[in-house]
Structure 1
Amino acid sequence: MATWQGAPDTPVVSICCITYNHELYIEDALEGFLIQETDFPFEILIHDDASTDRTADIIIEYSNRYPKIFKLILQKENQFSKNIRPTPIAIANARGKYIAFCEGDDYWNNSRKIQKQVNLLEQDLSASLCFHKVDKLIMKNNSISEFPEVEVAICRAEDIIRDNIIPTCSVLARKTTVQETPEWFNKIIMNDWPRWIMACQNGYALMINKKMGVYRVHREGMWSVTSWEDKVLGNLDFLYSIMEHGSNELKKAAEIRKNEIIYSIAAGASIKKRLSNHSVFGPLLRFWRIYINKSFPEFKKNHKYIS
């Protein structure tokens, strides 16, 4: 903060952090924000979605220590349960030219992270956002792996449709590319993957091939507790929305990805036919057959196990 050039009330970057029952992790996230060394002012915008643990108390303690850079949105009622997404609320309250994303259970471990990302986007005005590699920490067994494993320079929207290699806690985006989303966007189960695609429709994402954060995977995480059925349907719903509303390039990429999902389900179901009475696999296969028969009747002609 001593190196800031510019007034604190005109931040260049808004760090948007969405929290819900993250008392075990939130201090790591907040410390990762505070260690940032930049030549520009930034604000730390926290949206707590009515946590039932001590998350809000911890956030308030930090805000009292750094009142000039913290901005809190403390909900009294859980918004997500009302089908209201917290991220758009945070973005709407952000004052920065750029938005840096990091949820309350992830954290940054490089003090120059957002400075490096801002520098890149200032140099490449056609880029919509910038992301980097992270350590993916599986809390169940404390294993760590690099994510993503690939190394690329640029990702376009159609690339992200085919394979989402963008960790949310690594993204710094131009506010103009993420502040407006179509109405259908809010009806799908996923949040971040579609947001990066929408952001890159008229640009692309730059990747820094360096690990500068940690993405935690734990059983309390929103995606972790989502059922297999909802994950599959969520993916397909989103891809169909792209096929209906997207550009020709995005429609083609969504069609390819949709077919990959459908065929992988078909192959999996054929292989697991003998497990159809299994207590776990049985219900999954029955769900699959109902969905495929209803949505893709042509599969019956070519897959004898669909019935």
Structure 2
Amino acid sequence: MLEQVSVIMPAYNSEQYIRSAIDSVLEQSYTQFELLIIDDCSDDRTSKIVKEYTDKRIKLIQLEENTGASGARNLGIAKAKGRYIAFLDSDDLWKQDKLMKQILFMKEQDIALCYSAYEVMNVEGEQITGIVDVPSNITYKQLLKNTIIGCLTVVIDTKKTGKVEMPSFKGAEDTATWLSILRVGHKAAGVTEVLACYRKTHTSSLSSNKLNMAKQIWQVYRYDQKLSLLQSAFYFPCYVWNGFFKHIRTGGSIRTIR
């Protein structure tokens, strides 16, 4: 018997891409899921597009105030009924066998958190600009050095972790969540096959956003994970180095990150 997966999809002004994201979930070979779409107070046609779908597995939650991605995800997590929690942003895509392969893998490996490799596509979705390869397993200390886990690939077994909650700060709340899961002793492992596709928008490519993300990772070290200044200073250069090469491998340029 297939156990239910709750797919959490935050959405804000996503009319351009959300249909493709929803379709990639509905086309999953693993059919026992609910798709919780949290419209974070959009002022475009996002909710209208979602309401066009008649599949009863889709549940739309409309917020009256904008809470940000972590707030929307946390609301979805709180309302989730499935044993497993998966995440997909409204502009990204899943491969057809994504959930099936990861759920089977999690049962075989007896792990709390699963991730996978993923492709990076351009904003139009017409060209694959790179692939983010992942290790077959990762420890807490390794993740501090290399924030390689893509939120769009993660599946969490709440029977092992309990209901998780993402911190409220913006920018690295997903990484902070994975770190907190590993810190208490839960195991994470990866499917090295590409199972998802991340849309690299113009905004995500801006050098100012790269700098902001670096600042957020430092905040995660110091204030979320409570690392000492010395520990943070040890891990941070590793994060920067790995982030640089990830950027280059996925179609970025040296000029972009200056």
**Do these two structures clear the TM 0.5 threshold for a shared fold by scoring above it?**
yes
Distance 2:178 2:148 in 1: 10
Distance 2:187 2:109 in 1: 10
Distance 2:172 2:5 in 1: 25
Selected match of 2:63 from 71, 75, 96: 75
Selected match of 1:57 from 25, 48, 56: 48
Whether contact under 8 Å (1:157, 1:204) holds in the other structure is no
Distance 2:129 2:231 in 1: 28
Partner-residue secondary structure (3-state), 1:85: helix
Alignment TM-score, normalising by the size of structure 1: 0.69
Matched, 1:163 2:163: no
The Cα of 1:146 is off from its aligned counterpart by 3.7
Whether contact under 8 Å (1:243, 1:254) holds in the other structure is no
Distance 2:231 2:25 in 1: 36
Distance 1:220 1:188 in 2: 15
Identity %: 23
Matched, 1:180 2:164: yes
Alignment TM-score, normalising by the size of structure 2: 0.81
Q: Which residue does the alignment assign to 2:174? A: 192
Q: Which residue does the alignment assign to 2:249? A: none
State the AA in 1 paired with 2:23: E
Matched, 1:238 2:220: yes
Q: Which residue does the alignment assign to 1:98? A: 84
Q: Which residue does the alignment assign to 2:132? A: 148
Q: Which residue does the alignment assign to 1:256? A: 234
The Cα of 1:147 is off from its aligned counterpart by 3.1
Q: Which residue does the alignment assign to 1:116? A: 101
User: Are the structure 2 counterparts of residues 25 and 141 from structure 1 closer, same or farther at C-alpha, using a change threshold of 3 Å?
Assistant: closer
Partner-residue secondary structure (3-state), 1:104: coil
Partner-residue secondary structure (3-state), 1:186: coil
Distance 1:94 1:142 in 2: 33
Partner-residue secondary structure (3-state), 1:160: helix
Q: Which residue does the alignment assign to 2:13? A: 21
Structure number with the bigger relative contact order (C-alpha 8 A, sep ≥ 6) is 2
The Cα of 1:195 is off from its aligned counterpart by 1.4
User: Are the structure 2 counterparts of residues 242 and 147 from structure 1 closer, same or farther at C-alpha, using a change threshold of 3 Å?
Assistant: farther
Q: Which residue does the alignment assign to 1:269? A: none
State the AA in 2 paired with 1:97: R
Q: Summarize deviations over 1:66-115 as a string: whole Å, max 9, x none.
A: 12x111111122122xx9721111101100000111000001122x2111
Q: How many residues align?
A: 242
Partner-residue secondary structure (3-state), 2:19: helix
Q: Which residue does the alignment assign to 1:208? A: 191
Partner-residue secondary structure (3-state), 2:226: helix
State the AA in 1 paired with 2:44: D
Give the gaps of 5 or more residues in structure 2.
242-257
User: Are the structure 2 counterparts of residues 257 and 140 from structure 1 closer, same or farther at C-alpha, using a change threshold of 3 Å?
Assistant: farther
The Cα of 1:17 is off from its aligned counterpart by 0.7
The Cα of 1:234 is off from its aligned counterpart by 1.4
User: Are the structure 2 counterparts of residues 56 and 224 from structure 1 closer, same or farther at C-alpha, using a change threshold of 3 Å?
Assistant: farther
Distance 2:162 2:132 in 1: 22
Q: Which residue does the alignment assign to 2:32? A: 41
Distance 2:125 2:52 in 1: 31
